[in-house]
Amino acid sequence: MPSPRPTELSPALDAVYRDALLRNPGETEFHQAVLEVLETLGPVFAERAELADARILERVLEPERQVMFRVPWTDDTGAVQVNRGFRVEFNSALGPFKGGLRFHPSVNLGIIKFLGFEQVFKNALTGLSIGGGKGGSDFDPKGRSDAEVMRFCQSFMTELHRHLGEHTDVPAGDIGVGGREIGFLFGQYRRITNRWEAGVLTGKGLGWGGSQARTEATGYGNVLFTAEMLKTRGEDLDGRQVVVSGSGNVAIYSVEKAQQLGANVVAVSDSAGYVVDDKGIDLALLQQVKEVDRGRISDYADRRGSAARYIEGGSVWDVPCDVALPSATQNELDGDAARTLVRNGVIAVSEGANMPTTHEGIEVLREAGVAFGPGKAANAGGVATSGLEMAQNAARESWTFARAEDRLTEIMQDIHTACFETAERYGAPGDYVLGANISGFERVADAMLAQGVI
């Protein structure tokens, strides 16, 4: 069980937090992400005065560059539509900015900043030479034709391209941005720049510079991290009941890897409700419904028959399980949901999405002794494999699936070891939140110290 961790900030860290609130008004998700990190950094600053003297934390909290731009495009009726585009290039001390693009109506500057801030530490944990950034738009690809998505992506890249480059900033996909969108974005980048610069985007198609296992990497990596946490407690996933929120890319491949390790995944969800399948989720049917037909999770229940039941609305966390994998979106698992999971006997929760568990939810799980894998560590498999894609592009080579998956497994094991050992070193054994934050922060901070005040 994790050791108690004080939730009050030291006067110096509290001053930094209050300044961040004043400088970034209204950005709730960013405030939440900053607080979650600052709560764990007290032991580091108590030991390393040079970090405060160089104002490393204040510099880490301020993005190196923030870009906002208009994205005009025409729909299939010829009507002009206008969206807003974002790219927050947060920190490049360890390498080029790296992080996904999210296309969703909820996207605003605060959400992009929280995602970019998390990405800095996540990328540092991979051990690869990549910095942190994030981008996206309030454009909603759902219900849009391929032609409409293409025109939007071309307009979006027409502005964004001037800020990108394989040695500068390398976006990837996120919610709403899959292989189709990456293809359109890459095509427009190539058209404008007159360069075949494969390393400027990751998540590409396998036939033109993509990496094996990239599609599976975030979900696979989260389950691998979960398995490592359980191993420290003498447990494993074999025979465990697992619930996964969401039914997109991360959720689908979390289901696949959990099943490969012997777990019984009994529930998945989408924004309208969730489905419970006591016999275990039929992965092939789930992929057909979500990846091919682009349907709703209710369609899975209709086609599965009596083996599954669909519950409209409600919370997927009401389903009893041993392991919970929140893999949908931020703040989906709150204090009440965490208490329900604990009452139902959950032993591990690991975040496939970015910051899906609220501050209260994390504290409930910690106090109950539940193994908790924070997203910046547990879902780093996606960006890690993006880094591997960049390496393959630079070498003009292509790896087999087995080689890419083996390397992903090694990276996730190394991330777990770094988090586990850092928590032990700072007197908080089993606290993966503290271990992940400090391990990632120290790597970034040391690079910043070495490179001077820039």
Q: CA-to-CA distance for 300 and 420, rounded, in angstroms?
A: 38
Write the Ramachandran bin of 38: left for phi over 0, alpha for psi from -120 to 50, otherwise beta.
Answer: alpha
How are beta strands 323-325 and 308-312 bridged, if at all? unpaired
Question: Residue 122 annotated as binding?
Answer: yes
Question: Residue 288 annotated as binding?
Answer: no
Q: CA-to-CA distance for 242 and 239, rounded, in angstroms?
A: 9
Instruction: Collect all residues with Cβ–Cβ distance below 8 Å to 191 and sequence separation of at least 6.
Output: none
227 and 337, same domain (yes or no) = yes
What strands lie across the sheet with 264-270, from one edge to the other?
Answer: 308-312, 273-277, 264-270, 241-244, 323-325, 348-350, 371-373
One-letter identity of residue 162? R
236 part of a folded domain: yes
The per-residue pLDDT for 7 is 56
187 and 230, same domain (yes or no) = no
376 is catalytic: no
The per-residue pLDDT for 4 is 44
27 part of a folded domain: no
Q: Which of 358, 373, 388 is the last residue of a domain?
A: 373
Q: CA-to-CA distance for 453 and 188, rounded, in angstroms?
A: 36
346 and 221, same domain (yes or no) = yes
How far from 218 is each of 100, 271, 339, 388, CA to CA, in Å? Answer: 12, 20, 26, 13
Buried b (16+ CB within 10 A) or exposed e, 324-340: bbbbbbbbbbbbebbbb
End-to-end CA distance of the chain: 41
Q: CA-to-CA distance for 64 and 351, rounded, in angstroms?
A: 27
108 and 239, same domain (yes or no) = no
Q: Residue holding tokens 């391990």?
A: 439
**Structure tokens belonging to residue 281:** 């989720």
Q: CA-to-CA distance for 325 and 147, rounded, in angstroms?
A: 35
Q: Residue holding tokens 């349907």?
A: 295
94 and 225, same domain (yes or no) = no
360 part of a folded domain: yes
Helix axes 432-451, 109-125, angle to 10 degrees: 90
223 and 367, same domain (yes or no) = yes
Question: Residue 330 annotated as binding?
Answer: no
Question: Residue 247 annotated as binding?
Answer: no
Residue 368: CATH number of its domain: 3.40.50.720
Q: CA-to-CA distance for 34 and 17, rounded, in angstroms?
A: 7
Q: What is the pTM of this model?
A: 0.92
232 and 185, same domain (yes or no) = no
203 part of a folded domain: no
260 part of a folded domain: yes
Radius of gyration of the chain measured on its C-alpha atoms: 21
* Count of domains observed in the chain: 2
Q: Which of 334, 355, 373 is the last residue of a domain?
A: 373
The per-residue pLDDT for 181 is 97
259 and 318, same domain (yes or no) = yes
21 burial class (0-12, 13-18, 19+ CB within 10 angstroms)? middle
Instruction: Collect all residues with Cβ–Cβ distance below 8 Å to 81 and sequence separation of at least 6.
Output: 72, 73, 74, 75, 152
358 and 306, same domain (yes or no) = yes
102 part of a folded domain: yes
337 and 233, same domain (yes or no) = yes
**Structure tokens belonging to residue 279:** 């016999």
Which of 87, 12, 89, 24 is closest to 53 using CA atoms?
12
The per-residue pLDDT for 109 is 97
One-letter identity of residue 264? N
Q: CA-to-CA distance for 310 and 328, rounded, in angstroms?
A: 18
Host domain of residue 184: 65-198
Q: What is the pLDDT along the chain (454 residues), one digit of tens a residue?
A: 444 444 579 999 999 999 999 999 999 999 999 999 999 999 999 999 999 999 999 999 999 999 999 999 999 999 999 999 999 999 999 999 999 999 999 999 999 999 999 999 999 999 999 999 999 999 999 999 999 999 999 999 999 999 999 999 999 999 899 999 999 999 999 999 999 999 999 999 999 999 999 999 999 999 999 999 999 999 999 999 999 999 999 999 999 999 999 999 999 999 999 999 989 999 999 999 998 898 999 999 999 999 899 999 999 999 999 999 999 988 999 999 999 999 999 999 999 999 999 999 999 999 999 999 999 999 999 999 999 999 999 999 999 999 999 999 999 999 999 999 999 999 999 999 999 999 999 999 999 999 999 9
Residue 181: CATH number of its domain: 3.40.50.10860
269 part of a folded domain: yes
Write the Ramachandran bin of 27: left for phi over 0, alpha for psi from -120 to 50, otherwise beta.
Answer: beta
Q: Which of 198, 223, 249 is the last residue of a domain?
A: 198
Strands (E), 179-280: 241-244, 264-270, 273-277
**Structure tokens belonging to residue 406:** 């083996």
Q: CA-to-CA distance for 19 and 42, rounded, in angstroms?
A: 17
315 part of a folded domain: yes
**Structure tokens belonging to residue 250:** 């991360």
134, 204, 257, 376: the active-site residue? 134
221 and 194, same domain (yes or no) = no
The per-residue pLDDT for 8 is 76
Query: Which residues does residue 283 pair with via DSSP β-bridges, in sequence order?
Result: none
Q: CA-to-CA distance for 222 and 158, rounded, in angstroms?
A: 34
125 and 223, same domain (yes or no) = no
